[in-house]
Each structure stands twice: as C-alpha cells, then as structure tokens.
Structure 1
Amino acid sequence: MFKIQKPKIPASLTPFDYNDREDSDINMALISDCTISQEEVEKMRFEEVVFRNVTFLDGAFRFIQLTDVIFERCDLSNVDFTDAIIHRVEFRDSKLLGLNLADATLRNVLFENCNLNMGSFGYADLKEMRFENCSLRNADFYEAKFNKVGFTECDLDDVNFTGTTLKGVDLSTCKFNHLNLSLDLVAGCIVSADQAIGFARLLGVEIKD
C-alpha cells in the first residue's frame, strides 16, 4: 500500500469564527460547531485549518485552495468545490453527499468513514489518495485521472468510471453490484475472485456453473 502525506497541523490552533472573516486567506485556525450558510466565493485559501462539526449549507467555493486541512464530522453535502486545489487534506466521519469536485486537483487526500454518495469527480486529477470505509454509491469519476488511488472497504455500487483508466486500482475489498466502465480501460484493475465473475459478464464472457 502506498503512503500518502498527512496534513501538517500545528499543535495549537486559534479558534476562528468564519462568519466574522474579513479576508479570503485563513491560516492556522480551528473552525468548529457552526454553520456556514449560502456562501458563494471564489479562490479562497485555507492553510493549516481544522473544521470540526461544521455544516456548509448551499455553498459554492469554486477554485478553493486547501492545504494541510482536516474536516472532522462535517457536512458538506452538495457543496461546490469545482476546480479546487486540495493538498494534504483529510475528510473524516463526514457527510459529503453530492460534493462537487469536478475538475479538481487532489494530492495526498484521505476520505475516511464518509458518505460520498453521488459525489462528483468528473475530469478531476487524483494522485496519492485513498477512500477508506466510504459509501460512494452513484459517485461520478467520468474521465478522471488516477495515479495511486486506493479504495478500501468501500461501497462502489453504480459508480461511474467511464473514461477512467483503472490499471493498478485495487477494488478487491469493496462491494458493488454494478459499475459503469470503459471496457478498454479495465486492464490491470485488481478485483477479488467473486468480483471477477461480474467483470467477465461485463466483457461478454459466458460463465458455466
């Protein structure tokens, strides 16, 4: 298993009220137990920041830059992170239903125990990142670029991998009844023996009992 870099978070962070912000750059801050409602901004930068128990309502943060950031027990459902640049970031125990990361660039990112159902990663560039114990039902990775992307114990039912090369991607610990794939880009994908039967059917192979 490849390693991913963890966020570099200082030992002490200054509690910060996001709703009182006056700048588009927020550094070395703890933002906790609040709601950020109907925020629509572009090119905000967060560095060395922890979000804890924060709910984002109907937010759009296009071109956001996140470096050394942790989201813990947060709700980012349907938040728009289109064209985001995300580096050394962890999403833990969070609700990310319909999170939009289309066209985003992600490096050293961990999603752990998250609900990412219907999340959008279309055309995103993903490198050195992992999804662990996440639900990704109906998530969209259309024509995404994968480089060292891992899925461990995830629910991938009805995920769309169309146009995405799956060489070297290990799905063997995950569960799914159906995937949307480009058959010419499946070579090198790692699956379990049981999953291989489903893949064979996708390829038009008939299996005798």
Structure 2
Amino acid sequence: MKQREFYQQNLSGDAFPDGIAEYCQFYHCDFSRADLSEIQFIHCKFYDERSSESCSFYRAKLTDASFKHCDLTMADFRHINALGLEIHDSKVQGADFRGASFMNMIGHNSYFCSASLIRNNFSYANFEDVVLEQCELSGNRWSEVNVLGAKFCGSDLSDGEFHHMDWASANFTHCNLTGCDLSQLDPRRVDLTGVQISHEQQSQLLEQLGLIIL
C-alpha cells in the first residue's frame, strides 16, 4: 500500500494485506487493540499538526512490527505488546509508552526483552516503568524524557543525547553509554555498575566528584 490518506478510521491489520504501508498519512486514526504484528510502516505520518493530535495504538499488538522514517509525535503506545518492535529514524516526541511490554516471559520470574529503537527523537516521551533490558537503543534523543522506574539494564544507549533527564530515576546498570554527553549525570546518585564509557567520558564523570583531570 502506498500514498493513501486515512481520516478518523478504526484500523486493523486487515487494512494492510501486503503487510507494508509506505508514504501513508493517518489522521486521528484508532489502532487500539489491533493486531499489527510484522506490519512495516515506512515514511508514514500519524500526527496532525493542525489539531496537535496523533493516533492511538492503545493495547495494540505490535510484535515484530516496524516503523521507519515515520512521524509518531504524541502517539499513544500505552500497554502495547511490543516484543521485537522496530522504530528507526522517526519523530516520536511526546509519545506515551506507559505499560508497554517489550518482554517475553519464559518463566515465573524469567524473561527477555527485544526491541530496536534507533536514531529517534524521543523528547518529552513517557517511558515510566517500561522495561527495555538488553535492547538496541543507540543514537536516540532523550531530552526531558520521563524514565521514572524504567529499566534499561544491559542496553546499547551509545551516541544518545540526554538533556534534562533524571538519570537517578531509572536503572542504567551494564549499559553502553559510549558517545553520550554525561555532563548531567551525577555518579554519586546513579548506579553505574558495569556501565561502558570511553576514556574521554571519564573526565565528565570525575568533574562531578570535584576532581580535575590533567
């Protein structure tokens, strides 16, 4: 499917029989509870600048779905099933991911996560209590993001932009933070166990402790 416009429609996976939507525009559309597994959205727009409103994916099944070069500003991703979700090179400012599950439970207390969220703008997005452990999360902009209670343990967050974010409110242990600006990270308040950084980043962290590196 290419270059179609949808207005105020309730859409399911049946609307994309070939499994691909390219250069489509969705205005005030509702994907709530829809099964969108493995569907690819490429260069699609889900945000209406005139009304400042976006589309809803509330409780949708987005297993192995893909969004590339899309405008997902203000999208409602609450309580989605997102195992294997890909979002690449997209605008996702202000999107709400509360309750989103990127996990596959393999036991009562055992699980693994799978997601590839790369080179996106997540400014002002809400990731409160979201678990994204050992996922591909590099090259993203995380300005003013709510990460209260979120778990990023072991994920690749390299080359990310972090501004006005409360590092201490989330778990970043064992993450790859190489290439990130850590000037706003206070190592006295954040558990940095197993975190990977470069030699150049050492001085940023040590300056927070009052040390001057010569």
TM class by shorter-chain length? Answer: 0.7 to 0.9
2:153–2:172 Cα contact (<8 Å) kept: no
Equivalent of 1:144 in 130, 144, 150: 150
Count of equivalent residues: 194
Equivalent of 1:103 in 79, 83, 99: 99
SS at match of 2:132: strand
Deviation at 1:68, TM superposition (A): 1.9
Assess, with a 3 A threshold, how the Cα gap between structure 1 residues 115 and 193 changes in structure 2: closer, same or farther. Answer: same
Partner of 1:207: 211
- Is there any run of 5+ residues in structure 2 with no aligned partner, and where? 48-53, 103-112
Question: Within 2, Cα distance between the matches of 1:180 and 1:77?
Answer: 30
Partner of 2:50: none
Question: Within 1, Cα distance between the matches of 2:164 and 2:187?
Answer: 10
Question: Within 1, Cα distance between the matches of 2:60 and 2:186?
Answer: 29
Question: Within 2, Cα distance between the matches of 1:125 and 1:84?
Answer: 13
Partner of 1:122: 128
Equivalent of 1:56 in 28, 32, 46: 46
Partner of 2:36: 46
2:59–2:80 Cα contact (<8 Å) kept: yes
Assess, with a 3 A threshold, how the Cα gap between structure 1 residues 159 and 184 changes in structure 2: closer, same or farther. Answer: closer
2:21–2:40 Cα contact (<8 Å) kept: yes
Kindly report which structure 2 residues correspond to 1:187-198, keeping only aligned pairs within 5 A, or say none: 187-198=193-204
Q: Report the residue type matching 2:40 in the other structure.
A: V
SS at match of 1:162: helix
1:166–1:188 Cα contact (<8 Å) kept: no
Q: Deviations over 1:13-41 (max 9, x none)?
A: x6696849776344651112121111245
Kindly report which structure 2 residues correspond to 1:161-172, keeping only aligned pairs within 5 A, or say none: 161-172=167-178
SS at match of 1:129: coil
Deviation at 1:128, TM superposition (A): 3.2
Q: Does 1:186 align with 2:210?
A: no
Aligned-CA RMSD value: 2.8
Question: Within 1, Cα distance between the matches of 2:155 and 2:187?
Answer: 16
Question: Within 1, Cα distance between the matches of 2:21 and 2:5?
Answer: 7
SS at match of 2:134: strand
Q: Report the residue type matching 2:168 in the other structure.
A: T
Partner of 2:84: 88
Q: Does 1:24 align with 2:12?
A: yes
2:46–2:75 Cα contact (<8 Å) kept: yes
- Is there any run of 5+ residues in structure 1 with no aligned partner, and where? 1-13
Question: Within 1, Cα distance between the matches of 2:156 and 2:140?
Answer: 12
SS at match of 2:205: helix
Partner of 1:3: none
Identity of aligned residues (%): 17
SS at match of 2:156: strand
Question: Within 2, Cα distance between the matches of 1:71 and 1:145?
Answer: 23
Q: Does 1:74 align with 2:70?
A: yes
Question: Within 1, Cα distance between the matches of 2:68 and 2:40?
Answer: 8
